[in-house]
């Protein structure tokens, strides 16, 4: 497999949640994440998202509509971060939440309508960081 093919499958073996209530955006993201190798789970409302985290997982990435009903999603992220500090969360929003999203614990906000190339760049960035951490952890275990 070439380096380019490996990059296309950067989410191979990882589980991703798409928390989005718009069916067109769900489908667009599901196709993209699947092509990148991810197992995709979809939540259409925030209470369903809560159930997924209670009953399933672990997950490697959350693509989160910042206006997913019925909760205030920035508050949801703040509470989520009290338990799960490491998992990247990419916010999806047609409006700019400003620094409030970052303060809540979202790593990056992607504007709707979605730019596929921007999504890919963001995912490569976070997947690369996760690979680097894993390699560093392996090296530290070997040196002990």
Look at residue 33 and tell me if it is in a domain: yes
pLDDT at site 7:
55
Between residues 25 and 5, which one has the greater pLDDT?
Answer: 25
Quick: pLDDT tens for 40-90.
999 999 999 999 998 987 899 999 999 999 989 999 999 999 987 789 999
Distance of alpha carbon 144 from alpha carbon 132, whole angstroms:
19
- Mention every residue, 6+ apart, whose C-beta is less than 8 A from residue 1: none
pLDDT at site 93:
94
Give the mean pLDDT of 114-122: 92
Give the mean pLDDT of 11-35: 95
* pLDDT band per the 50, 70, 90 thresholds, residue 129: low
Look at residue 19 and tell me if it is in a domain: yes
Write the CATH number for 82. Answer: 3.40.50.2300
The number of folded domains in the chain is: 1
Look at residue 8 and tell me if it is in a domain: no
Between residues 3 and 131, which one has the greater pLDDT?
Answer: 131
Distance of alpha carbon 133 from alpha carbon 99, whole angstroms:
26
Q: How far is CA 2 from CA 5, 6, 8, 121, in A?
A: 5, 6, 10, 19
Q: Per-residue pLDDT for 141 more than 60?
A: no
Mean of the per-residue pLDDT values of the chain: 84
Domain membership of residue 87 as a residue range: 14-139
Distance of alpha carbon 43 from alpha carbon 50, whole angstroms:
9
């Amino acid at each position: 497999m070439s380096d380019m093919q490996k990059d296309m499958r950067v989410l191979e073996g990882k589980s991703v949640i798409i928390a989005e209530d718009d069916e067109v955006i769900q489908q667009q993201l599901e196709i993209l994440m699947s092509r990148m190798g991810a197992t995709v789970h979809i939540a259409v409302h925030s209470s369903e998202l809560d159930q997924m985290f209670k009953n399933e997982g672990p997950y490697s990435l959350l693509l989160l509509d910042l206006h997913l009903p019925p909760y205030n999603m920035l508050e949801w992220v703040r509470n989520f971060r009290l338990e799960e500090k490491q998992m990247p969360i990419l916010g999806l929003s047609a409006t700019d939440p400003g620094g409030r999203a970052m303060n809540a614990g979202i790593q990056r906000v992607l504007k709707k309508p979605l730019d596929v190339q921007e999504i890919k760049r963001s995912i490569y960035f976070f997947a690369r960081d996760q690979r680097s951490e894993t390699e560093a952890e392996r090296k530290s275990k070997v040196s002990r």
